[in-house]
Amino acid sequence: MKQTAYMKKVGPLSIVGAVLMVGVPSPAAEDLVSRRQADMKAMAVAAKTISGMFKDPTTYKASEFKWAADTIRDRSGGVLSAHFASEADSRQSKARPSILEERDRFDRLANDLRDYAVALDAAAEKNPGQMPASMRMKPGEMMGGGPLGTHVRNEQELSAMPAEHAFHLMLQTCTTCHAKFRME
């Protein structure tokens, strides 16, 4: 009889618990969102590092510039795409479900980001001393890129442009992706 009374008490609690659990994101979804948010924050820090060196070229250190470019390279492309390979049901996530619907576009942006970071890495390799004028954009130079602009897909074209131009294209890629695939 005690077992039946216990079952009567636990039964309704179990049902309420199960109903409440349906609305709770799985730990795996939370972990995925946490990992991709950590990667996004690392890329933001890296971009700020590079930006600071372009704002004040006297602060340029090839090793730090390269570290920042490598940080972005290592977290973009296929790694970034894999972070969004499935819909992560999480209240923490700011990703729009349209990523899955527009997979090719998202992957292309993730790969563009990686390609621009590779170009920045190469610029740091070629310029171990002070930041040369060849890494900087010239006054009035058109940046291109943007949501409706031309994206550089050719490695030769990327390596021929100033690193600052590649950096601006990279930032525009981030802006384009966030505008399209991130909820505010």
What residues does each domain of the chain span? 26-181
Give the Cα separation of 79 and 69 in Å (integer).
15
Fold of 26-181: Four Helix Bundle (Hemerythrin (Met), subunit A) (1.20.120)
pLDDT at residue number 21: 39
pLDDT at residue number 39: 96
Tokens of 146: 């943007």
Residue 157, pLDDT above cutoff 90: no
Residue 171, pLDDT above cutoff 90: yes
pLDDT at residue number 32: 85
Give the Cα separation of 110 and 77 in Å (integer).
5
Provide the 3-class DSSP secondary structure of residue 24.
coil
pLDDT at residue number 94: 86
Residue 104 · residue 94 · CB < 8 Å: no
Model pTM above 0.85: no
Place of tokens 């030769």: 156
Residue 38, pLDDT above cutoff 90: yes
Place of tokens 């609690």: 13
Residue 178 · residue 136 · CB < 8 Å: no
Q: What share of the chain is helix, strand, coil (3-state, %, to 5)?
A: 70, 0, 30
Provide the 3-class DSSP secondary structure of residue 71.
helix
pLDDT at residue number 112: 93
Torsion angles phi and psi, residue 170, rounded to 5: -65, -45
pLDDT at residue number 13: 43
Residue 144 · residue 158 · CB < 8 Å: no
Kindly report, residue by residue over 110-147, the tens digit of the pLDDT: 999 999 999 999 999 999 999 999 999 987 666 555 44
Residue 132 · residue 163 · CB < 8 Å: no
Residue 172, pLDDT above cutoff 60: yes
Kindly report, residue by residue over 43-84, the tens digit of the pLDDT: 999 999 999 999 999 999 999 999 999 999 999 999 999 999
Kindly report, residue by residue over 78-102, the tens digit of the pLDDT: 999 999 987 655 667 888 888 989 9
Tokens of 153: 């897909």
Give the Cα separation of 166 and 52 in Å (integer).
15
